[in-house]
Structure 1
Amino acid sequence: MAKRTTSHVFLRIFLPIGPLIAFLAACQPDSETEEALARPVRTVTVERRAATVPVVLTGRLQAQDEASLAFRVAGRMIERHVNVGDRVEQGQIVARLEPQNELNALRAAEANLAAAEGQLVEARADFQRQQTLAERGFAARAVYDRARQAMQTAQSAVDSGHAMVKNAQDQVSFTELRADAEGVVIAVGAEPGEVVQIGQRIIQLAREGGRDAVFDVPAQVIRTAPNDPQILVALTDDPTVTAFGRVREVAPQADPVTRTFEVRIGLSEPPPEMRLGASVTGRMETDTGEIIELPASALTQHDRQPAVWVVDPEALTVAMRAIEVVRFEPGTIVTGEGVDPGEIVVTAGVQALHPGQKVRLLEPPP
């Protein structure tokens, strides 16, 4: 009997607590309920920024000044003293032709000169005699004129003989090919024993001096390139070896096959590792104006079209907005139309949203 009395007392005390809890819960503010129901999202504020697009091309290293050395006379080459990679000094003999014909021509010219000089001595002596007689009145005027004419003819023959000897000496010297400047041999065009023609390349010489990075550049890149751009050039097999350069020369005409223009970049203080003929890459930033860039995570789809969720900053609700995607980049997208600077775009949680949904803006990640 005592147990039943205790139970009844317990029920009388605690039974009114249930309705009281329900009443207190009903009195909670609606704002807190809405806050609890709002979906947390991360966002970004749309901004415009100046955009540059990197252009990377592959090229090769060349000397700023190259020359093809060739003989000025034809003949059989008997010696070539250098090979590819050899360094030569200015005036050094790099090849020789068989000089027998030129030496014979020199001897003949010297003999003709000696004969012309003997005739000049005789003609000058005869003229002096006729001049003395004419002054004393014992010589006819016609004889005197003939002696003077003979002396002038002999003098002209001597002058011609000197010119012939000089020409023959030059022909003999042309059988020796000398380097016109200090440099490195980068190519050879003939071997000893071959009969070479006038102007045929014997060696290709890269003269000492600067280095050029040579690239085949499309016309579109040339049109969009900034004025006097600075180019970063790096070795293809070792990108840590770099040098800066600027455009030194642009070919006036495109290659008929590739339709590209040859552009030479003069390098400033290239390191020794940048050897002639090495493969290099050149990097340049081209200006494309202002763009709007958004994280790729903000992109969703509506009616099979790209779209993003835009947040109303006052009501804190979201609405879907179709956008134009200009291009995709690693981790980001570049938009053309659809959003304006200053608008708030959802970047995380886009798949769980619906139009008009309340959202709670989270702090951006550090």
Structure 2
Amino acid sequence: MRILAIIFAALTASTPGAAETLTVMPGTIVEWKAVYGQVETRNRVPARARIGGTVTQLDVAEGDRVEAGGRIAMVEDDKLVFQLASIDAQISALSAQIETARADLERGQQLIERGVITTQRLDQLQTTVDVLQGQERSLQSERQVNERLIVEGEILAPEAGVVLSVPISRGSVVAPGEAAAVIGGGGVFLRLAIPERHALTLAEGDEIELGAGASGVASERRTGRLVKLYPQIEGGRVQADVEVEGLDSRFVGQRLPVRLPIGERLAILVPAKALTRLAGLDFVTVESSHDGARRRAVVPGGTVTRDGIVWREILSGLSAGDQVVIEDE
């Protein structure tokens, strides 16, 4: 009975002292959808082996920073060394044959002046020299190919970034084209998976709000910008990328709470300081030309911050045109 008496007194009491009035009008508020975003690097590129062989050196580990063109690992193939030795032996043998053929050609040129040999024989000696020189050039080219293959045993970073994974180890046998490491570069962003029913309400350039705890400080409000919406829908979800200034890039794959603007609606808003709470109920003071200022019970909803002022949505108890009294603090 005492509680009911207090509530009745609160409902019938007038507001003491000077106060400010606000005419209630429906305002537009943004509807938000809570999802999780995942920290991702802009580019994720594998560093691949160019030749097959055995990994003899591994220069990076997960989390290392690499520059574009930096060495990731070294792959060696013993067969290339043996082929190089075989080519060198063939070139050496050809060099000896070429020297002999050139000496025969010089003698032939001297003998043809004396009329001892025919022109046909001299042409045969010249052809022999040309053929042997051609074979030597072919072997030299083959040798350069093998030297290049040995050089390509170095696995290089395709771009600057952080090493995300290293699926090989020293002593592993790799095939040409096999990934030795995955490099993440180009900065970091938040990648979202948005339900397809909300895809049409979003557009590139929209402001995205990070949820509490996303920035490491619960009270800090941070926003990002939607920079890319992917056209392909997979599993009923659309992927989108959000740029956030100062996003922590230490942990790729970290999940952060995000709020997406998915629409707008009309609502009745009053400053949060216009509400008072008594005996478990929320009241606002309404000014009436007939009854004066009286408290009215309302059902409040969520809060909206605009220009640094906290507003409270009123779900029931007020209508457009009501004069709400805001007491001076």
- The bucket for the TM-score relative to the shorter chain is 0.5 to 0.7
Residue in 1 that maps onto 2:241: 264
Question: What whole-Å deviation, never above 9, does each CA across 1:138-164 have from its counterpart, x for those lacking one?
Answer: 864433443443343333322321221
Residues of 2 paired with 1:281 and 1:130: CA distance? Answer: 90
Q: 1:363 to 1:243 in 2, by over 3 A?
A: closer
How many Å apart are 1:225 and its aligned residue?
Answer: 1.0
Picking from 232, 235, 244, the partner of 1:253 is 232
How many Å apart are 1:189 and its aligned residue?
Answer: 0.7
Residue in 1 that maps onto 2:92: 114
Correspondences of 1:61-210 after superposition (within 5 Å): 61-123=39-101, 140-207=118-185, 209-210=186-187
Secondary structure of the corresponding residue to residue 176 of structure 2: coil
Note if contact 2:37-2:191 (Cα within 8 Å) is conserved in structure 1.
yes
Residue in 1 that maps onto 2:276: none
Note if contact 1:75-1:195 (Cα within 8 Å) is conserved in structure 2.
yes
What stretches of structure 2 of length at least 5 have no aligned partner?
Answer: 1-11, 15-20, 271-287, 292-299, 303-311
Correspondences of 1:6-21 after superposition (within 5 Å): none
Q: 1:262 to 1:123 in 2, by over 3 A?
A: farther
Residues of 2 paired with 1:198 and 1:163: CA distance? Answer: 22
Residue in 1 that maps onto 2:257: 281
How many Å apart are 1:130 and its aligned residue?
Answer: 5.6
Question: What whole-Å deviation, never above 9, does each CA across 1:218-262 have from its counterpart, x for those lacking one?
Answer: 23333111342243457637256887554444434223xx33233
Residues of 1 paired with 2:178 and 2:101: CA distance? Answer: 47
Amino acid at match of 1:292: L
Question: What whole-Å deviation, never above 9, does each CA across 1:246-301 have from its counterpart, x for those lacking one?
Answer: 4444434223xx33233233444x2556543332233443454xx432369xxxxx
Q: 1:54 to 1:129 in 2, by over 3 A?
A: farther
Q: 1:134 to 1:52 in 2, by over 3 A?
A: farther
Secondary structure of the corresponding residue to residue 232 of structure 2: coil
Residues of 1 paired with 2:262 and 2:131: CA distance? Answer: 74
Residues of 1 paired with 2:227 and 2:89: CA distance? Answer: 54
How many Å apart are 1:85 and its aligned residue?
Answer: 1.7
Note if contact 2:26-2:268 (Cα within 8 Å) is conserved in structure 1.
no
Residue in 1 that maps onto 2:275: none
Amino acid at match of 2:318: T
Q: How many residues align?
A: 273
Using the size of structure 2 for normalisation, the TM-score is 0.64
Question: What whole-Å deviation, never above 9, does each CA across 1:197-231 have from its counterpart, x for those lacking one?
Answer: 22222222223x42122222223333111342243
Residues of 2 paired with 1:126 and 1:245: CA distance? Answer: 83
From the CA coordinates, give the structure whose radius of gyration is larger: 1
Bigger strand share: 2
Amino acid at match of 1:294: I
What stretches of structure 1 of length at least 5 have no aligned partner?
Answer: 1-38, 297-312, 317-327, 335-344, 349-360
Residue in 2 that maps onto 1:364: 325
How many Å apart are 1:61 and its aligned residue?
Answer: 1.6
Q: 1:84 to 1:346 in 2, by over 3 A?
A: closer
Secondary structure of the corresponding residue to residue 254 of structure 1: strand
Amino acid at match of 1:221: H
Residues of 2 paired with 1:148 and 1:218: CA distance? Answer: 79
Q: 1:60 to 1:125 in 2, by over 3 A?
A: farther
The CA RMSD over aligned residues, in Å, is 4.3
Q: 1:362 to 1:280 in 2, by over 3 A?
A: closer
Amino acid at match of 1:281: P
Are positions 1:218 and 2:195 aligned together?
A: yes
Secondary structure of the corresponding residue to residue 145 of structure 2: helix
